[in-house]
Structure 1
Amino acid sequence: MSEADAGLFGPSSVTWQAHGDPMMWVAGIRALYLQALHPRAVRGVMQNSDFRKDAWGRLMRTAHFVGTTTYGTTQAAEKAGARVRKIHSMLSATDPDTGERYGVDEPDLLLWVHCAEIDSYLHVLRRSGFPLSDTAADQYVAEHRESARLVGLDPDGVPASTAELAAYFEKVRPELAVGPEARAVDDFLRRPPTRALLIPARALLWRRVANLAYASLPRYAHELYGRPAPPPRTVTRRLAATGTLLRLVPARVRWQLPPKHILRAMARLGPGSRPDRRHVPYKVDRRDAILDGPGRAQRGNGGDGATCQRCQRWGTPG
């Protein structure tokens, strides 16, 4: 009998363990906020889709892609990547100021989207208490050169560590701005259209999640959007509290939600493939987990450049 296909990452990877955490949903919303700060990138999205009508679909497609590439077979991951590359190759956008027409699959734009996602996943997970050492955080960033390859990037040109990720954000920061497209994304994430009966739920649940995702952005992002965020220590406490609450929900219950990537992977590979921090095959160090006490932050934190030592806390100037 042939050995089951573990896919692009496999149970021994940091990615396999981290992507099973429920805080990935908060991280995904943070990524949308961050991605919208690149005018050329967000323009490509807004000019090729009705974001306000299809934002949920876009978010779910992104989640499905991440789930497939993380827990699916190699063939499924490669097929998903090929589909994304084909769609991107057919799309373009126009700069309203210069009239320039450009493809949405320009390497610089793909790299921005990739780095904003990876940084957001890593930042929110660690800051909410998911215990990853600095070495494991670097490994996570390096692993995702593979996901970058799937969308059409040369892996050799993609950050391979948290330090390289931070350097990338420092380099790209002068290009970031909040234009009409970013304002539309911000407005949608703050007040997504919904049926009248669901408006109370939107105010009670969604707004809190979206506000938390926004608050976790680097300081320069808050300055660009023009909306302040709570003090960093308060944000960290809220992330940690939210992570603790969500992690109380049994994993098997959470993983029942469609499309059940993790359950299918476990069925394919056996119980030893369960994403469970109690059985991580790499070293984690709870002292390095980003909580509200002393600890070290990952260096690729959306360009803040905050490297918290044992005597520092979140709040380093962005």
Structure 2
Amino acid sequence: MGNILIRWRDELRGTFAGQSDTVPQWELELENGDDAGYLAPDSAVWTVHRSMTTLVAGIRSLLTQTLHPGALAGVDDFSAYRAAPLARLANTIRWIFTVTYGDTAAAKSACDLVLQLHERVRGTYTDSAGEQQSYYANDPHLLRWVHLTFTDAFVTSHLAYGGRLPGGPDQYVAEWAKAGELMQVTDPPRTFAELRRQLDSYRPELTASAAMQETVEFVRHPPLPRSQRLGYSVLFAAAVETLPEDHRRLLGLRPITPLPLRLLIKPATWLVLGVVRLGLSKTGPSEAAARRRIARLRQQA
């Protein structure tokens, strides 16, 4: 039994570390730096990003982003997510945690690297009206869409399945606006209501397509170890439950029926998130490294 548990924990950690069961060096290096960073330990962002609700949010943000054909084309044409999904997940986690827990130089460097990689991501796509359009990953319009969908997914998932959120959703949106600014998003939303207004402005551009359905199926059934598949199916259902009805319709997804089963989604999600927390640790390596850096800086002050 002990060996089975150890193997399960190694598989779980490997999923989040890009098929490595050791703590990545970049997480340990977050202990270095000359300032406390853009976001404080008592911030709404730390509260959300240190919680397990980010697992639901990650699924939700991927599903929502596929609704914009320009954003989807960039991922489809240039991302290796089908061949190496765990590596792509690890890269995304690295960016999120570096901006959240790193000092200001590390956060800015992480965003600059993403923007640099985006420079080559260019091509064409068919828009919601059937017209050919060009796309560029660093186009301000697409950068805003990605920022909005990420922010909405993380705050909405935490409100649905998480605990207390200091300052409420407005505080999270306002704080994470710094990430938008670092990613060259002009005037990112700073309230939950403004976030929803900006998201609504994209509705005419959203559309279903064969490429979108293929991506949705991949997100629904990723190549995870057998030990993680049941839990993932619960988290996928939890993410779908938080989506607006029009988004679900475009994605070809339906909430679980009948009603008694839908009522079980929240407790089942809490159970899965709790089990994952046991398999990882209460304080992740990135947060622990950031706390050591902040403690060092306070001692030096």
TM-score (structure 1 length as normaliser):
0.73
**Post-superposition offset of 1:222:** 1.3
Distance 1:140 1:6, change over 3 A: same
Matched, 1:253 2:281: yes
Write out aligned runs for 1:113-262 (5 A). 113-132=146-165, 135-154=167-186, 156=187, 158-193=188-223, 198=225, 200-201=226-227, 203-230=229-256, 238-239=265-266, 241-243=268-270, 246-247=273-274, 249=277, 253-256=281-284, 260-262=285-287
Task: Give the whole-Å Cα distance in 2 for the aligned partners of 1:227 and 1:250.
Answer: 30
Distance 1:210 1:252, change over 3 A: closer
Distance 1:35 1:209, change over 3 A: same
Aligned-pair identity in percent equals 30
Distance 1:229 1:102, change over 3 A: same
Write out aligned runs for 1:233-312 (5 A). 238-239=265-266, 241-243=268-270, 246-247=273-274, 249=277, 253-256=281-284, 260-270=285-295
AA matched with 1:30: R
> Which residue matches 2:26?
none
Cα shift readout 1:237-293 (whole Å, capped 9, x = no counterpart):
52355236634746982445xxx211101111239x9xxxxxxxxxxxxxxxxxxxx
Unaligned runs of 5+ in 1: 274-318
SS where residue 253 of structure 1 aligns? coil
> Which residue matches 2:142?
109
Q: Which moved more, 1:261-270 or 1:234-243?
A: 234-243
Task: Give the whole-Å Cα distance in 2 for the aligned partners of 1:95 and 1:179.
Answer: 11
**Post-superposition offset of 1:233:** 9.1
SS where residue 138 of structure 2 aligns? coil
TM-score (structure 2 length as normaliser):
0.77
**Post-superposition offset of 1:126:** 1.0
Task: Give the whole-Å Cα distance in 2 for the aligned partners of 1:178 and 1:229.
Answer: 18
> Which residue matches 1:307?
none
Cα shift readout 1:128-159 (whole Å, capped 9, x = no counterpart):
132236x43101101121101122222x2x11
> Which residue matches 1:80?
110
AA matched with 2:270: G
Cα shift readout 1:11-65 (whole Å, capped 9, x = no counterpart):
2421122211011111111100011111111111111123311322222211111
SS where residue 87 of structure 1 aligns? helix
Specify which structure has the higher proportion of helix.
2
Equivalenced residue count is 260
SS where residue 83 of structure 2 aligns? helix
Q: Is the 8 A contact 2:37 2:103 kept in 1?
A: yes
Q: Is the 8 A contact 2:240 2:254 kept in 1?
A: no
Task: Give the whole-Å Cα distance in 2 for the aligned partners of 1:268 and 1:113.
Answer: 30
Q: Is the 8 A contact 1:89 1:105 kept in 2?
A: yes
Q: Which moved more, 1:114-123 or 1:236-245?
A: 236-245
SS where residue 51 of structure 1 aligns? coil
**Post-superposition offset of 1:67:** 0.5
Task: Give the whole-Å Cα distance in 2 for the aligned partners of 1:217 and 1:99.
Answer: 28
Task: Give the whole-Å Cα distance in 2 for the aligned partners of 1:98 and 1:242.
Answer: 41
Q: Which moved more, 1:228-237 or 1:207-216?
A: 228-237
Unaligned runs of 5+ in 2: 1-32
AA matched with 1:147: A
Task: Give the whole-Å Cα distance in 2 for the aligned partners of 1:236 and 1:132.
Answer: 23
